[in-house]
Chains A and B, each alone.
Chain A
Amino acid sequence: MKILVTVKRVSDPEAKLKIKPDGSWIQTEGVKFVVNPFDEIAVEEALRIKEKQTGEVVVVSIGEKVVTEQMRAALAMGADRGIFVNYTGSYDSYDVANILQKVVEQEKPDIIILGKQAVDDDMGAAGFMLAELLGYPQAAFASKVEISDDKKKAKVTREIDGGLEVKEVELPCVITADLRLNTPRYASLPNIMKAKQKPVKEVTVDALGAAVKPRVTVKKLTEPPKRKGGVKVESVQDLVTKLKNEAKVI
């Protein structure tokens, strides 16, 4: 069983981000970058499937050379090899889906697992678009994945509002990973060392034959307004007066 997993390089979600003076993007100096947490969950799930079924886990990343750092992290977790799509320009979710479509056509994986969204822009669109472009069935926001014994179907549990939905999809399919799908493993030291030797194939968008024409562009980023400090009230009476007169909520 061959599983393709996407890995996106994102700024550390705990980091305090600053916006560039022109508002075009965040300042990246001094910011730590990590594997998108949902992609980490996707890699972990792919590894667990592989460990049960045998097969191969291929990770794919798009971007500048630095994204291979995050790809190595996924290889250190246990993925077998990487495909690095070298692309420096800007792109949107649809471009990502286009590029991934070409990779899928070359690799012909049985399952494609993506994080349900990247934590930097929170778009969460590439997975749906990819399934659509490929004409594959999809199961998004997976919290549990079971592969059938004949390896032809996947039973996917999804967390939906107020309950769980269990879906069955035929392989090949696209799955996006939700938070509670698993807890990603901590890479072992021999695997970290081995990851340095694992093959990473570098390809260009042109070589893949994918068209990148961003339909969505970022116009401006602004910081959220600073929270104003609260006031401590002396008594319940004070609070009621303030709620009545100042907040005008009662």
Chain B
Amino acid sequence: MQKIAPITKLALTIFVTIWSIVLQSLPALTALIVCQLILLAIAKVGSSVYKGIASLFAFAAILAGMQYAINSDLLLAAITASKMIAMTLVFFILLATTRMQDLSAALVLQCHIPYEYAFMLTAALRFIPDFLAESKAIQEAQACRGYSPQGNVLQRFFSYMAVIKPLVLKAVTKSETMALSLELRGFGSRKTRSFKNNVTLALQDYAMLLSMILLTSYLVMQIY
């Protein structure tokens, strides 16, 4: 999967989303999920991805349980949960097998999205671990000062503001520093920027794209 061009994987994400919406039978959706799991296995993704997938399955099961409690329709609940899993799994494939810089390059070079917007995607993902570490540090600092959320959900939410406020302020400060550092590194100074990595389509990409188009056409024809 790592050898597939990012634009092909983006197309796969869109097509799988369409298939998940179009398909209404539980076996077909199950097959779609299994196919995606096989793709992940072939890609040899890390254990953290599987932990995320396990959480996704647990969340889908809760949603299915809630829907069953409301509708008493087990098949509908299973189909809804399967659709959600199928739609989300493809994002795991995309993010686990594509480097963000390659994705940015594909968005800019092949989708003609301005680099500034494509860069936002990369930067957001880059700072998630920093943001989580910052949140943990603030919680620990506030705990040292006696912060201990107690009471009902609403009370806990309001007491959590003691963490959110400094976190937001720090994030704003960081974003300002980042903007300055980007300027200092000549970001956006040229109309044409280069990309180190090659993201052009190869033969296997064309084959995958053609297969996806044919399958989608077949599914749409089956409906109408």
Binding between chains A and B: no
Chain A positions within 8 Å of B, measured between CB atoms, are: none
